[in-house]
């Protein structure tokens, strides 16, 4: 890393339009590649407003500001996002909400590449909600993360106020209100399922600890990296200061897939399918619930009378959709996963339509369905739009559902035993059954 030093005058750049005006002050610190666009030549600077930028080898990421002898710690900010700005000054023309900090891990990956631009556009949190993105990657991905940050710069999103990139969760998670944990190791050749649980478990244990220490105490955490239910469990067990209720494992993709399959079979557009629950694990033991789902407000079984298809064809098509996609694409789903992350967050920040619900993998303590406590299990939820949720009480569980839910529950209990050393629950004992029910992307 190289250190560059420059001084700036107090000025406002003529290159910025009024809707996204960034106020430049003596606190300004700029990357070299952007500096020449915004600043007058260095000889016009005042001597007492000193700024030190340390820049990465490619001269793009300033990492520290020195002012009056104090080194400030906004050290992972990227390029244009290191500019200071004044949201208040924009209130003459816009009414902004208070800025929120959103962490995304695996930020240089394919899913993030779709997700980050949706977050920055306002599609998720609304057109009046400025955001700061905190991008977590591995040492190996740092250059790619800079590429991501550059594309975010070039997109000129008015709502995107800060982008930080980093490899240390303790720094990246500082004060975050949302954490979307996508980064996880894929299962390599010859790797046992228990090994994957252990390797990824370590990552999520570390990230849980970091969230516990650094994040906002009411941070909402959405775990996407597989095996996401057990990763979410490990994460929450390592974050005792954060309510367990705030942790989610992404099963919204499965819900969306199930809605699509029912719509196809019934010959209706998919917005006519509601009340779709995915029960259990995000694996091939998951249970897409056609008993309580509705099409055009009617029970699915009244609209689709081929019940054998519901029990077999439909269920299997949802359980194995991820695997089929991998066969076609040669990699896991990315765009539809990003869309389902957007859907999952929007379901928590907007009120659930009357009578409907959504699925999320959440902590089972206090659940009304008789599912073992201490698991992260996909269940039907409703939200008032405040970021929180409650479990739906009036769902019917017949013998068919109960039997399948029990299978997914048994799988999650076995996964939990495998990671006991990571959840503080004693010595791990791995007795995962001979049938491998993990999603094919993990093989």
Q: Which residues are catalytic?
A: 282
Q: Give the one residue of 52, 212, 292, 332 binding ligand LMR; rule: CB under 6 A.
A: 332
What DSSP assignment string belongs to 127-151? TT--EEEEEE--GGGHHHHHHHHHH
Q: Sign of the C-alpha dihedral, residues 213, 216, 218, 222?
A: negative
- Taking the CA atoms of residue 388, residue 393, residue 395 and residue 399 in that order, the dihedral angle to the nearest 10 degrees is 110
Min separation Cβ 98 and ligand LMR, Å? 34
CB of 294 to ligand LMR, least distance (A): 24
Q: Which of residues 191-210 bind ligand LMR (CB under 6 A)?
A: none
For ligand LMR, the binding residues in 216-245 under the rule CB under 6 A are 226
Q: Where are the beta strands (DSSP E) in 59-188?
A: 65-67, 70-72, 100-105, 131-136, 160-166, 178-181
Min dist CB 112 to ligand LMR, Å, is: 14
Residue window 28-57: x/- pattern of binding to ligand LMR, with contact defined by CB under 6 A? ------------------------------
Q: Which is nearer to ligand LMR, 132 or 249 (CB)?
A: 249
Smallest distance from the beta carbon of 256 to ligand LMR, in angstroms?
11
Q: Whose Cβ is closer to ligand LMR: residue 109's or residue 166's? A: 109
Q: Which residue, 182 or 210, is less far from ligand LMR as judged by CB? A: 182
> Between residues 174 and 319, which has the closer beta carbon with respect to ligand LMR?
319
**Closest CB 410 distance from ligand LMR, rounded Å:** 20
Q: Does 439 bind ligand LMR (CB under 6 A)?
A: yes
247-286 residues in contact with ligand LMR (CB under 6 A) are 253
In the complex, the smallest distance separating the C-beta of residue 148 from ligand LMR, rounded to whole angstroms, is 20
Of 79, 137, 322, 361, the one binding ligand LMR (CB under 6 A) is 322
**Under 8 Å between Cβ of 408 and 230:** no
Closer to ligand LMR by Cβ: residue 9 or 186: 186
State in angstroms the smallest separation of the CB of 159 from ligand LMR: 29
Q: Retrieve residue 6's tokens.
A: 């420059």
Supply the minimum distance, in Å, between the C-beta of residue 337 and ligand LMR: 6
Which of 356, 368, 369, 357 shows the shortest CA–CA distance to 408?
Answer: 369
Q: CB under 8 Å, gap of 24 or more: what pairs does 205-209 form?
A: 205/234, 205/235, 205/237, 205/238, 205/422, 206/169, 206/238, 207/105, 207/169, 207/173, 207/179, 207/181, 207/235, 207/238, 208/234, 208/235, 208/236, 208/237, 208/238, 208/239, 209/238, 209/239
Piece of the chain touching ligand LMR by CB under 6 A; list 189-197, 273-281, 379-387, 435-443: 435-443
Segment near ligand LMR (CB under 6 A); pick from 159-167, 307-315, 325-333, 403-411: 325-333
Structural contact between residues 72 and 54, judged by C-beta atoms closer than 8 angstroms: no
Q: Using the rule CB under 6 A, is 441 a contact of ligand LMR?
A: yes
Q: Of 261, 285, 333, 364, which one interacts with ligand LMR (CB under 6 A)? A: 333
79 vs 225 by CB, closer to ligand LMR: 225
Matching residue, tokens 């559902």? 401
Nearer to ligand LMR, 104 or 253 (CB): 253
Got the DSSP string for 330-382? SS---HHHHHHHHHHHHHHHSPPPTT--EEEEEE-TT-TT-PPSS-EEEEEEE
Q: Which single residue brings its beta carbon nearest to ligand LMR? A: 441
- Per-position DSSP letters for 390-411, written without gaps between them: EE-------HHHHHHHHHHHHH
Q: Is 174 in the site for ligand LMR (CB under 6 A)?
A: no
Distance separating alpha carbons of residues 314 and 400, to the nearest angstrom:
14
The residue range among 37-45, 296-304, 353-361, 434-442 that interacts with ligand LMR, by the rule CB under 6 A, is: 434-442
Is 234 or 253 the residue whose CB approaches ligand LMR more closely?
253
Q: How far is CA 31 from CA 36, 70, 77, 443, in A?
A: 9, 19, 10, 42
**How many residues lie near ligand LMR (CB under 6 A)?**
9
169 or 322: whose CB is closer to ligand LMR? 322
* Nearest one of 77, 139, 147, 137 to 106, comparing CA atoms: 137
- Are 78 and 163 in contact by the 8 Å Cβ rule? The answer is yes
**What's the closest the beta carbon of residue 226 comes to ligand LMR, in angstroms?**
5
Burial per residue of 178-189, b for 16 or more beta-carbon CB atoms within 10 angstroms, e otherwise: bbbbbbbbebee
The site for ligand LMR (CB under 6 A) is made up of: 226, 253, 322, 325, 332-333, 439, 441-442
């Amino acid at each position: 890393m190289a250190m560059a030093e420059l001084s700036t005058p107090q000025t406002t750049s003529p290159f910025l339009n009024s809707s996204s005006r960034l106020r430049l002050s003596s606190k300004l610190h700029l990357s070299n590649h952007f500096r020449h666009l915004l600043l007058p030549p260095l000889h016009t600077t005042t001597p007492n407003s000193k700024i030190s930028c340390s820049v990465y080898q490619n001269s793009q990421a300033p990492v520290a500001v020195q002012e009056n002898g104090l080194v400030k710690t906004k050290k992972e900010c990227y390029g244009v996002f290191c500019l200071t700005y004044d949201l208040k000054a924009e209130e003459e023309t816009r009414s902004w909400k208070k800025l929120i900090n959103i962490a995304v891990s695996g930020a240089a990956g394919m899913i993030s590449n779709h997700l980050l631009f949706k977050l920055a556009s306002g599609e998720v949190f609304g057109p009046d909600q400025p955001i700061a993105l905190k991008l977590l990657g591995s040492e190996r991905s740092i250059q790619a993360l800079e590429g991501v940050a550059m594309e975010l710069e070039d997109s000129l999103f008015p709502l995107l106020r800060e982008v930080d990139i980093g490899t240390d969760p303790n720094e990246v998670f500082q004060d975050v209100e949302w954490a979307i944990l996508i980064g996880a190791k894929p299962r390599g050749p010859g790797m046992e399922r228990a090994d994957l649980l252990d390797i990824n478990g370590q990552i999520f244990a570390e990230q849980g600890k970091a969230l516990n220490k650094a994040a906002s105490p009411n941070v909402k955490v959405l775990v996407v990296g597989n095996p996401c239910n057990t990763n979410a469990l490990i994460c929450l067990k390592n974050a005792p200061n954060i309510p367990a209720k705030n942790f989610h494992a992404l099963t919204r993709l499965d819900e969306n897939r199930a809605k699509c399959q029912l719509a196809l079979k019934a010959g209706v557009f998919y917005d006519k399918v509601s009340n779709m629950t995915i029960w259990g694990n995000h694996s091939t033991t998951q249970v897409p619930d056609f008993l309580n789902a509705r099409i055009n407000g009617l029970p699915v079984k009244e609209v689709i009378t081929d019940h054998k298809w519901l029990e077999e064809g439909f269920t299997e098509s949802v359980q194995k959709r991820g695997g089929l996609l991998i066969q076609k694409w040669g990699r896991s789903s990315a765009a539809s996963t990003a869309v389902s992350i957007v859907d999952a967050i929007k379901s928590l920040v907007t009120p659930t339509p009357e009578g409907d619900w959504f699925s999320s993998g959440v902590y089972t303590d206090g659940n009304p369905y008789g599912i073992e406590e201490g698991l992260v299990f996909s269940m039907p939820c409703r939200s008032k739009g405040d970021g929180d949720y409650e479990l739906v009480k009036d769902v019917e569980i017949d013998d068919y559902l109960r039997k399948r839910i029990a299978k997914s529950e048994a799988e999650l209990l076995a996964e939990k035993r495998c990671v006991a050393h990571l959840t503080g629950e004693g010595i791990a004992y791995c007795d995962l059954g001979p049938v491998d029910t993990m999603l094919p992307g993990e093989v």
